Structure 1
Amino acid sequence: YFLWCVAILVKGDTVQSVDRALAILGIVSQHNQIGITDICKALDLNKTTVYRLLSTLMNNGYIEQVKGSNKYRCTFKLFEMGNKRIQDLDLLEEAKPALEKLADLTKETVHLVVEEGTEIVYIHKVESTNTIRMHTWVGKKNPMYRTAVGKAILAFSDKEKAIDIWNKSEIVQNTPYTITNINDFLEQLVLVRKNGYAIDNEETEIGIRCVAAPILDFSKNVIGALSISIPTIRFPENEIEIYGNHVKKCSEVISKKLGYIY
């Protein structure tokens, strides 16, 4: 919840207590429940400071103490705040019916994302009915450069933007298939624009292929992307074009609802 929901701007120098409180939120959000000692170790803070900040966060409803223990966990307050932002997006409401139809057609996991900095954020997910699925959730982020949805967005944006995103990203060989050369990356974006869909061929997660298409609005700007994520055991490479056409048709339906004229 923390990474999706909280953004604080402070003029001048950062406020130390705010920094520490946000750091505590970040640590607690990564665990089902966690004790003060572990928080202190993770942040190299003393117990008095951590307890004081925890008390403040609890008083404001962001963290709660697990009943009958000395452990702490996040409440749903941050999720509710982020979810309100998501609900305010016309994109989500307009996209839901088409995404449901796509998931029903393919029986696979369907995602809707928007960009945030150098990353994409999942704002909606329709889960696959199959037992083997991609481990994602609403609010999760991934780098744009190695995701199908990120490449779909960048391929239909300015080339300068794609280069800027690449330069600002931490390029990591996440899997043996991750593209780590900018020229190879830009060549792939040209192919994405030509085909109308992008591919993540096990670049983010071994055993998972994703196919994505961009979503455009009335001003012809890319405002998001959608994807199908499928385990490779159910998705041979010779079927990529089939799924590519599925995501393209779905993106066209959503884009038209948002005023884009083909």
Structure 2
Amino acid sequence: MQQVSNALTAAGSKRASHYRHLSPALPGEERGKSIQSVDRVLSIIEILSLSDRPLMLKDIANLADLNLSTCHHLINTLVRRGYVINSGRAQGYSLSSKFEILSRRSEREAKLIEFVKPSLHELNEDIREAVQMTVLRGSSLVSYVRLPSQIRGSAIDLGNRPLTHAVHTVANGKAILAWLPQAELARVVADNGLTAFTPHTITSLSDLTEELRLVRRSGFAVEDGEFHTGQAGFAAPVRDMSGAVVGSIGVTVERRRASDAYSDYLTRAVVKCANDLSSRMPAGCFT
């Protein structure tokens, strides 16, 4: 117990005291205009999708009404990104399976949203605060479901909370990062950086590592003015039945209202919702 106390004291923050209190209980184009290069690429994709055999460059250029050089540059970009296969000299071009992979991912995401929404609505009705479900897609934290606060006059608007490069600052992000393998965590941090959004933001890898250790031990994550000085958050990981972390459930509130007692109440509600979803989530269906 003394070691736990020392570790939490070293963290030196309201977040640490909250962990201790609960642990281990729980610029583009104008609208209406099209972008010519995008329009041309989509035309090429549609042409290839309608062909039952590889097409030669000159045939694609003719069908897309493009000069040969422009068509060649666009096709090469699609090849480099893995969307088109170059079958070899004099063999032509065809679509790769990447579109099918993206389609399956989109289908899984839609099913995941459908699966979690009833529980999120129930949590939102219960606590009346803004709640969201997020996942880590590559190195980016993405919000799948957002439900607004039902408290009159609340200043929390999750729609105005873009999470780009903020995975280390918000409770939802930390609830996922805590369970990543070390190499994967290093990659996510390298891709996103540790940008200081407020004076409270964790900006060193050693401090983040300590924070994530507390998250793992406690079973939940805390955000205390790290992304927005006026906001606090509490989140918990959602797992499937194999134990794999699929995403996180979190609540965001005005920091001035996040008393110890209210923070405890919200954290317990979020952990309960996440645990309920985890107990019912089929293994491998959404990852």
How far has the Cα of 1:180 moved from its partner? 0.2
Q: What corresponds to 1:136 in structure 2?
A: 158
SS of 2:159's equivalent?
coil
How far has the Cα of 1:238 moved from its partner? 4.7
Is the 2:236–2:271 contact (alpha carbons within 8 Å) kept by the matching residues of 1?
A: yes
Give matches, 1:183-202, under 5 Å: 183-202=206-225
Q: What corresponds to 1:64 in structure 2?
A: none
Is the 1:103–1:128 contact (alpha carbons within 8 Å) kept by the matching residues of 2?
A: yes
Structure 1 position 207 matched with structure 2 position 230: yes
Q: What corresponds to 2:135 in structure 1?
A: 114
TM-score, with length taken from structure 1: 0.65
How far has the Cα of 1:197 moved from its partner? 0.6
Is the 1:124–1:138 contact (alpha carbons within 8 Å) kept by the matching residues of 2?
A: no
How far has the Cα of 1:112 moved from its partner? 0.7
Structure 1: gaps of 5 or more residues? 1-25, 37-50, 61-80
CA distance change for structure 1 residues 87 and 222 in 2, over 3 Å: closer, same or farther? closer
Give matches, 1:26-175, under 5 Å: 27-28=28-29, 53=36, 56=39, 85=106, 88-130=109-151, 131-137=153-159, 140-142=162-164, 143-175=166-198
Question: What whole-Å deviation, never above 9, does each CA across 1:122-142 have from its counterpart, x for those lacking one?
Answer: 111111112223332399433
Structure 2: gaps of 5 or more residues? 1-26, 44-101
Q: Relative contact order: is structure 1 or structure 2 higher (C-alpha 8 Å, sep ≥ 6)?
A: 2
Q: What corresponds to 2:257 in structure 1?
A: 234
CA distance in 1, matches of 2:185, 2:109: 27
TM-score, with length taken from structure 2: 0.60
Larger radius of gyration: 2
Is the 1:94–1:257 contact (alpha carbons within 8 Å) kept by the matching residues of 2?
A: no
Amino acid in structure 2 at the alignment position of 1:217: D
How far has the Cα of 1:34 moved from its partner? 5.8
CA distance change for structure 1 residues 257 and 90 in 2, over 3 Å: closer, same or farther? farther
Is the 1:217–1:259 contact (alpha carbons within 8 Å) kept by the matching residues of 2?
A: yes
SS of 1:110's equivalent?
strand
CA distance in 1, matches of 2:177, 2:120: 21
CA distance in 1, matches of 2:262, 2:160: 27
CA distance in 1, matches of 2:183, 2:35: 46
Between the two proteins, what is the percent identity of the paired residues? 24
CA distance change for structure 1 residues 232 and 218 in 2, over 3 Å: closer, same or farther? same
